[in-house]
Amino acid sequence: MKTIFKLLFYIFLSTSTLIGGTDYTKKPSVKRFIKSMQTKYNYKSSTLYQLFKDIKPKGEKEPYIPKKPDKEFMKLGSWDRYERIMLHDKRVSLGVQFLDDYKTTLARAKDIYGIPSEYIAAIIGIESYYGKNRGKFYVFDRLAYLAFNGHRRWKFYRYELQEFLRMTARQNVNPKAVLGSSSGAIGLGQFMPSNYKSFVVDFNNDGRKQMNSFVDAIGSISNYLSMNGWRKGEPVATRVRYPGNRYNQKPTGYKHRYKRVNLYGIKPVVPFDYKKKVSLIKLKRTRYDELWYGAKNFRVITTYNHSSYYAMAVHQLAQKIKDKKNSLQENLNVAQLFSKIE
């Protein structure tokens, strides 16, 4: 890997800013990790020791101060709370603007990968608020903290740290300067480092694969969904009716699949031309359970984040963006029509 040792040029640019950090080079597990990187990928141990010499506590750029939860808000059903956070009008409006700003790129991605543009817009909107919130943690330090402090998923985070180092070397990026989420996810689409090599594409053809580039993020998220089984032209989800206010008859969630003929008493609210197995997705409202069918494409979204609520938020945000975009276009068409008549 010919650019690996360019890391040395960057190391000292950032370590001076990490005041009050912890020296991880004293940890036996870190020493073994450094030895493994040296053996498998030919990294210089001196470079890695310098990286681990000063790890910011918990990887935070700034101390995290949790907000006191609003009591009335916490009394709401779990989906009511999730919906208020994820599906507010401002996020929808920014999604419509995103469709306009990247119309050409989104159309090209749809032609290549078959993913509707509104779903790409929805994922970027939820993951990074259209670039406004890409993460407040130093990724190297955060992954080091999670990998070497007894976290129950330490093996996962140690692997992600390895892949993060390899990724930053390929892209000639200072590993100490990259910001991301509390789990080490990076960029507009919040990809974990291990996903970069498999799914990130150079969609703007500038010779670099960067999830902080809107064009590369659009292509990469489209590629990710396509490679995980998205079926072009098939639906994602539809709301259904069932007897009563709370649903407990069958297990719900994206991991469970049923033939529709076996779901007695459950009927789609609108026609739903889908013959394959569906999942039952339960959204807990304050006074009732909202129930949906989730199709194959719904389950594909859950590969991005293993949560039925997350996938439903993506679906509903995508539909809200699409509906508002169409509504604005219709209003514009009417205005232009009347302008011609006058």
Residue 152 inside a domain? The answer is yes
Residue 29 inside a domain? The answer is yes
Task: Give the range among 7-21, 101-115, 158-172, 226-240 with minimum mean pLDDT.
Answer: 7-21
Q: What does the DSSP assignment read for 89-117?
A: HHHHHHHHHHHHHTHHHHHHHHHHH---H
Residue 61's pLDDT is what? 80
Residue 230 inside a domain? The answer is no
The whole-chain average pLDDT of the chain stands at 91
Task: Give the range among 11-15, 140-144, 171-175 with minimum mean pLDDT.
Answer: 11-15
Distance, in Å, from the CA atom of 192 to the CA atom of 133, rounded to the nearest integer, reads 16
- 16 & 159 share domain: yes
pLDDT above 50: residue 14: no
Residue 1's pLDDT is what? 43
> Total domain count for the chain?
2
Residue 100 inside a domain? The answer is no
- 174 & 245 share domain: no
- 70 & 162 share domain: yes
- 12 & 146 share domain: yes
How many CA atoms within 13 Å lie on the side-chain side of 322? 12
- 153 & 55 share domain: yes
- 258 & 152 share domain: no
Residue 299 inside a domain? The answer is no
Please write the tens of the pLDDT for every residue from 286-341.
Answer: 999 999 999 999 999 999 999 999 999 999 999 999 999 999 988 766 666 556 66
The domain of 74 spans 1-82+135-186
- 78 & 157 share domain: yes
- 168 & 74 share domain: yes
Task: Give the range among 6-10, 92-96, 246-250, 266-270 with minimum mean pLDDT.
Answer: 6-10
Tokens of 14: 């950032």
- 143 & 243 share domain: no
Residue 26 inside a domain? The answer is yes
pLDDT band of 70, cuts 50, 70, 90: confident
pLDDT band of 235, cuts 50, 70, 90: very high
Residue 193 inside a domain? The answer is no
What DSSP character marks residue 68? P
The domain boundary, picked from 260, 278, 294, lies at 294
Average pLDDT over residues 167-193: 94
Average pLDDT over residues 251-276: 97
Catalytic residue, chosen from 127, 160, 234, 342, is 127
* Other residues' Cβ atoms within 10 Å of the Cβ of residue 101: 14
Average pLDDT over residues 146-156: 96
Residue 287's pLDDT is what? 97
pLDDT above 50: residue 280: yes
- Taking alpha carbons only, the member of 212, 216, 171 closest to residue 10 is 171
Task: Give the range among 56-60, 172-176, 231-235 with minimum mean pLDDT.
Answer: 56-60
Distance, in Å, from the CA atom of 341 to the CA atom of 324, rounded to the nearest integer, reads 26
- 155 & 289 share domain: no
Q: Could you give the strand order of the β-sheet that contains 267-268, starting from the edge strand earlier in sequence?
A: 267-268, 237-241, 289-294, 279-284
Dihedrals phi, psi of 66, to nearest 5 degrees: -65, 140
Residue 172 inside a domain? The answer is yes
Residue for token pair 């993506």:
314
Q: What is the CATH number of the domain that holds 17?
A: 1.10.8.350
- pTM for the model stands at 0.88
pLDDT band of 7, cuts 50, 70, 90: very low
- 46 & 179 share domain: yes
How many CA atoms within 13 Å lie on the side-chain side of 60? 7
What DSSP character marks residue 46? H
Residue 286's pLDDT is what? 97
Task: Give the range among 22-36, 67-81, 213-227, 240-254 with minimum mean pLDDT.
Answer: 67-81
Active site residue 127: yes
- 279 & 161 share domain: no
